[in-house]
Amino acid sequence: MIKYEKINEYSKDIEQYLRLKTSPVAVKFIQNEDEIPTYAVRPKRDTGKHLAQCQAFAMSRREGKTVAVLKEDQSCWAPLISYGLIDSSVIDTEKPEYDLQLKGTLQWIKGLADALPALEKGKYIGVLSAPLTTAKFEPDAVMIYSNNGQLRSMLMALKFMPEAEYSVESDIEPFDSCVYSLVPVLLNGKYRVTFPDPGEYERAVVDEDKVIFTMPVNRLDEFVEALKKLEQRGLGYTGLKKIMQPDFPRPDFYNEIFKAAGLEVSR
């Protein structure tokens, strides 16, 4: 496991290479309250209010706060089920007092809940999040909220690193971004891209151009090294320059391909 001091340094590198507007987020699934720092915000205890998980992540990346969200703090159903805090069987679709509209909605939600990737039931009591730059704990995963150009740079960086076992497999899901951005990563140990869902857009005030890039913390070393090498190649986030130029200068390997295909090479 990477010590948090090194993680803090890596966060500064990531922010520099990608020119991020907000800090990467350190995320830890906690098994007991002893893992919660004394300075962490406990929404129900400290404010008397509940938070959706995406709102806690927003507080960490935009406001620099360490936030602990336990079962009693949650105001969203999907993480309760997917994080293993409750069982999907609590969704009862057959109560006689339900009207047809509510019954239909609950049946749809029950189908979504049963299809969610899920952590072991009862293993965790909640989620701790903080800015990666200042986190004083060793996280399970790192979330980066980026624009499309920054995402391209991250994917390009990994593509140039064969030893990084480049693999970014993601379902294109419109719902439950607090689930799909984290749970599959913990289960399979791979990088992942997730679109913020409607709730995150409305309640956590995420910008329309943002996507979520997530990695298990044990890939942080290779990820930062990949960004560094991309920067050294002049292809980093600030290295690409827009230009509309016919017959633009082609790299040598372009010319070799064109030559082999019997096409005119660039001069």
Tens of pLDDT, residues 40-92: 999 999 999 999 999 999 999 999 999 999 999 999 999 999 999 998 888 77
Given a cut of 90, whether residue 110 has pLDDT beyond it is no
Name the pTM for this structure. 0.90
Q: 110: part of which helix (H) or strand (E)?
A: helix 100-115
Among candidate residues 219, 155, 179, 222, the one with its CA nearest the CA of residue 57: 179
Among candidate residues 95, 142, 125, 163, the one with its CA nearest the CA of residue 34: 125
Q: List, in sequence order, every residue forming a beta bridge with 142; answer none if it has no partner.
A: 26, 215
Among candidate residues 42, 91, 108, 53, the one with its CA nearest the CA of residue 75: 53
DSSP 41: B
The pLDDT of residue 113 is 81
What is d(CA 173, CA 194) in angstroms, rounded to the nearest whole number? 7
C-alpha distances in angstroms, 233 versus 43, 52, 77, 154, 226?
45, 41, 45, 14, 11
Q: List, in sequence order, every residue forming a beta bridge with 71; answer none if it has no partner.
A: none
Could you tell me if 195 and 213 are in contact, meaning their C-beta atoms sit under 8 angstroms apart?
Answer: no
pLDDT tens by residue, 113-172? 888 999 999 999 999 999 999 999 999 999 999 999 999 999 999 988 776 556 687 888
The pLDDT of residue 195 is 96
Place of tokens 């090498």: 229
Could you tell me if 179 and 65 are in contact, meaning their C-beta atoms sit under 8 angstroms apart?
Answer: no
* Mean per-residue pLDDT, 7-34: 97
Lowest mean pLDDT among 115-119, 154-158, 225-229, 237-241: 237-241
What is d(CA 213, CA 187) in angstroms, rounded to the nearest whole number? 16
Q: List, in sequence order, every residue forming a beta bridge with 168; answer none if it has no partner.
A: 191
Place of tokens 């029950």: 110
Residue 38: both structure tokens together: 């004394």
Given a cut of 90, whether residue 96 has pLDDT beyond it is no
Counting beta carbons within 10 angstroms of the beta carbon of residue 77, is it exposed (0 to 12), middle (13 to 18) or buried (19 or more)?
middle
Given a cut of 70, whether residue 100 has pLDDT beyond it is yes
